[in-house]
Chains A and B, each alone.
Chain A
């Protein structure tokens, strides 16, 4: 019996599927992952809000300690990250609410919205911090 054509030409070069090593994630995919990560971060970030409120309701000493911790460079870095996570998750959430109506789902539109919300989250975070420093007269 002769070999079937498929067996004889098995060594022929065939196109390969896009592989993980050369796959560039689209911005919508990256934003989806960041949305979940920021959501998870905000979950634990509520501990900071609770600590602040409980300290304010407890005593001068407790409040001063929390205020000091938030004011250290590490504290400020965490709060800066918290601000960005909040803004990113909020704008990403607005994006999802728009999608829920059926609008903005076209591929290129969705990518544009994704880039816009990313830029918007960075911009809002910077604005909030500039405004915060202005409020205390540091700028």
Chain B
């Protein structure tokens, strides 16, 4: 056996798929970067929106959140931010939780937490946008 590829134990199919031992390739890394990029303008909008609304009462806040543009950007902010934070928490869990069972459980709970926060927030926004 000679040649520079002789030590490669991967099957041709595995090489073509290029997903490596994680079975998902660079998907986690890439989505973390994509959401990070999206989060920059979305976060700046969110912060600016809160500055403008600071001290506003119930009716004013409801009217501001019901604005279609605000509602849409807020929903994008929530989806991108929550997706990003779930990916980040997965890395933290994988780094510090040794036991495989506990790791699986905490990552699952983290996913449930993310979805619960997202669904509750987006439902609130839609309720306000569609006439409260």
Contact = CB atoms under 8 A, between A and B. Distances in A.
Whether both chains belong to one complex is answered with yes
Interface of A: 36, 39-40, 42-43, 46-47, 49-50, 53-54, 56-58, 60, 63-64, 83, 86, 90, 93-94, 96-97, 100, 128, 131-133, 135-138
Contact of B40 (A47, A94, A137): A94
B117 to A, nearest CB: 5
A5 B40 CA distance: 63
A57 B125 contact: yes
Given A40-B89, A93-B39, A46 B117 contact: yes
Interface stretch (B8-16, B45-53, B101-109): B45-53
24 contacts: A39-B88, A40-B92, A43-B88, A43-B89, A50-B120, A53-B74, A53-B120, A53-B124, A56-B128, A57-B65, A57-B127, A57-B128, A57-B132, A63-B58, A64-B58, A83-B47, A86-B43, A90-B40, A93-B40, A96-B36, A128-B51, A132-B54, A135-B52, A135-B54
Given A39-B88, A97-B36, A128-B47, A46 B54 contact: no
Q: Interface residues of B toward A: which range?
A: 20 to 34
Given A56-B61, A133-B54, A93 B36 contact: yes
Nearest to A132: B54
A33 to B, nearest CB: 12
Contacts of B3: none
A46 B85 contact: yes
Interface in B89-125: 89, 92, 117, 120-121, 123-125
A53 B40 CA distance: 21
Nearest to A58: B124
A60 B92 CA distance: 38
B64 to A, nearest CB: 9
A42 B50 contact: no
Contact of A136 (B36, B54, B127): B54
